Amino acid sequence: MNKKLALKTLICRLILDIAPEVDIESLDPNEDLREELDLDSIDFMKLLEAVSLETSITISESDYDKVQSLQSMVNYIENRT
Amino acid sequence: MEYAPIKKDVSATNKLANMVNYHQSYDDFNWHEAQQLIKGYKNGINMAYEAVDRHVEEGYGDQTALIFLEKKQQRKVFSYAQLQQTSNRFANLLKSLKVDKGHLLCSLTDRSPILYTAVIGCLKSGVVFSPLFSAFGPEPIKSRMKIGGATVLLTSGKLYKKKVATWRHEYLALKTVLLYDCDGECPSDCIDLDHVLVQQSDQFTICETAAQDTALIHFTSGTTGKPKGVVHVHEAVIYHKYSGYYALDIHPQDVFWCTADPGWVTGISYGVISPLCNRATLVVDNAEFDAIRWYNILEKENVNIWYTAPTAIRMLMKAGNLLSLNYDLSHLRFLASVGEPLNPEAVIWSQKYLGKVFHDNWWQTETGGIMLANFISENVKPGSMGQPLPGIKAGIVEVDDQGHLTEVTASNKTGELAFKKGWPSMFRDYLHETKRYQDCFNDDWYLSGDLAYKDDDGYFWFVGRRSDLIKSAGHLIGPFEIESVLIEHPAVVEAGVIGVPDPIAGELVKAFVSLNDGYKADAALSKSIMAHARKKLGPALAPREICIKQNLPKTRSGKIMRRLLKARELGLPEGDISTLESDETT
């Protein structure tokens, strides 16, 4: 549980580095991140790069559909660490 | 590094190419024949008639016009007859709302069916259509609608709430807001489109628009001042059809996929008008870029012609060389790219891993259509923009200090890319800025603002831009619009915005700002400025990086020297700094 929370905090911090205007508290963790937070393709790519850098987990292109929401991204990283 | 031309054998394609011999087509060209491609409507020309109704009249109503792919795999198909009916309903709705010929409707939508219905519906009722990019923030939306004098807005319930509702009543000219997907929660001062559209008749008599009547307004960025409203007329449809036929090799019933967002000119000219006029079947994907999804679409929809952008191609390259090999791309016949120069490595990559070469082409909002292209029948020179379409006289020119223009006839010599004026889709004005429009012409040449050279074989090569405009992910971004928003932040006293190279997006927006007294440069302030910019401008225009300086380099008249900021950022020679009055300090 703590690991999940730590990952969630980390990803939220990385989102705020890229898009500091977003209201991260009101983000539904199960909704599409890009749509909910108005992130474009470049933002999303930078987010995945930052997540990979911080966690040493590479998110391959074929798994992009598994990291569309905050919750699914947390689960994805957790399952690979 | 120099790349060898990629040899082409036009006879090897499984469909006879529309252009078999470029030089013959160029030499034999006359505009009268190009005009024969369109039918004309009554005593004039109407874009919507050429794109849709004409095909229904000629017995092709059952052919699929549009295939919509929703984010969650739903697939919807519309025939030409259905598109005719829904656009008739839209036109009748406009009529019932007293939206008349010449009024302006702006759209702020995703790639949903209603957009295509609305474009055609507006054009057939003589209402001028202007698309806005849905990733814009409130400021660029508001400024463009005000410049255009839009009286109608088409948007979704969600986008309205997020980007329009807060300022809607500041802009009194906006009489009507049409909302789709408002899930039963339509505000009382808006119209629930999903509810009212179905009540309209699907019969409509198309407005008899004249060739020179305004059809479309596309906004583009300027180096200084506000965005420019680029005016295009119904006659442009001749060139939309003709250039799709020659430069993209569109045949009737081809499955055609233009990945450009319809919020920009490419997404309308070649994402709607041109392929419909050529009676293709259009694939429309309403999802963000995803390499696997894209390869799936190419395979499952049997796409024949694919028109995309360098940023997307580079993202596909990044996704892995071997990924494409898992898909059957054998239906692809022609691949083209536009938006910014396509780097030669991407051309070579496509040949190797997609089995087909990308054909780069060049045009801009003002030209309304493709002007230079690598053609299906011609060798592709990786890195080149190609050759002029038959009927287009392209040249490299120089203008001296007195304003005298000379054409550079020597090969490989850099000058400004220019075109002899008079092609049908040439813009007719910048809205309310005729002087600015006239300044784009010298003698009978239209000056593009891009620097280029022509090689010995007549291929054109991009060198750079004459102005400070930024090209990021294929979008042309004007620094002034971003700087104006940055200085609205209470901490910022001045701002200079430049483009910095990026391997995927081409360029990314970087802002340099200096601070008012009492503010301290730190990470929290940078974030606060970034948040302010993204909120107002949206992710497509906002800077990706903010650099705080104590002072920015300025001329005597106080103008920020973006050129100098850029030279220093990139470690390039500073050039002439005789006008520099006050230099930057860190």
pLDDT for residue B291? 92
Are B315 and A45 within 8 A, CB to CB? yes
pLDDT for residue B374? 97
Residue B253, pLDDT above cutoff 90: yes
pLDDT for residue B1? 65
Kindly state the helix (H) or strand (E) to which residue B374 belongs, with its residue range. none
Contacts of A65 in chain B (CB under 8 A): 290, 292-293
Does residue B532 belong to the interface with chain A, where contact is any CB pair within 8 Å?
yes
pLDDT above 70 as % of chain A: 99
Q: Confidence class of residue A1 from pLDDT cuts 50, 70 and 90? A: low
pTM for the full predicted model = 0.90
Q: Which domains does chain A have, with CATH numbers?
A: 2-79 (1.10.1200.10)
Are A21 and B534 within 8 A, CB to CB? yes
DSSP structural state of residue B44: B
Give me the mean pLDDT over the B118-124 stretch: 98
Neighbours of B409 (CB within 10 A): 9
Q: Confidence class of residue B585 from pLDDT cuts 50, 70 and 90? A: low
Tokens of B453: 């050279």
Provide the sign of the torsion angle of the four alpha carbons B6, B8, B14, B16, taken in this order.
Answer: positive
Place of tokens 């002007």: B371
Do B187 and B169 touch, CB atoms closer than 8 A?
A: no
pLDDT in tens, B69-78: 998 879 999 9
pLDDT in tens, B36-81: 999 999 999 999 999 999 999 999 999 999 999 998 879 999 999 9
DSSP structural state of residue B335: E
pLDDT for residue B543? 96
Provide the sign of the torsion angle of the four alpha carbons B467, B473, B475, B477, taken in this order.
Answer: negative
- Cross-chain CB nearest to A62 (options B292, B504, B534): B292
CA distance A80 to A58: 10
Smallest CA–CA distance, residue B144 to chain A, in Å, is: 20
| Mean pLDDT, chain B, integer | 94
Are B135 and A43 within 8 A, CB to CB? no
Give me the mean pLDDT over the B101-126 stretch: 97
Rg (CA), chain A: 11
pLDDT for residue B183? 83
Residue B586, pLDDT above cutoff 60: no
Are B539 and A16 within 8 A, CB to CB? no
Give me the mean pLDDT over the B248-263 stretch: 97
Tokens of B134: 């849905």
Contacts of B315 in chain A (CB under 8 A): 41, 45
pLDDT in tens, B138-196: 999 999 999 999 999 999 999 999 999 999 999 999 999 999 999 878 999 999 999 99
Does residue A19 belong to the interface with chain B, where contact is any CB pair within 8 Å?
yes
pLDDT for residue A37? 92
pLDDT in tens, B530-581: 999 999 999 999 999 999 998 899 877 677 888 899 999 998 887 777 667 6
For chains A and B, count residue pairs whose Cβ atoms are closer than 8 Å: 58
CA distance B217 to B231: 5
pLDDT for residue B259? 96
Are A20 and B530 within 8 A, CB to CB? yes
Contacts of B162 in chain A (CB under 8 A): 38
Give me the mean pLDDT over the B99-123 stretch: 97
CA distance B577 to B375: 43
pLDDT in tens, B414-450: 999 999 999 999 999 999 999 999 999 999 999 999 9
Does residue B325 belong to the interface with chain A, where contact is any CB pair within 8 Å?
no
- Cross-chain CB nearest to B473 (options A39, A42, A64): A42
ipTM, 2 dp: 0.94
pLDDT for residue B50? 98
- What is the distance of C-alpha B406 from the center of its chain? 30
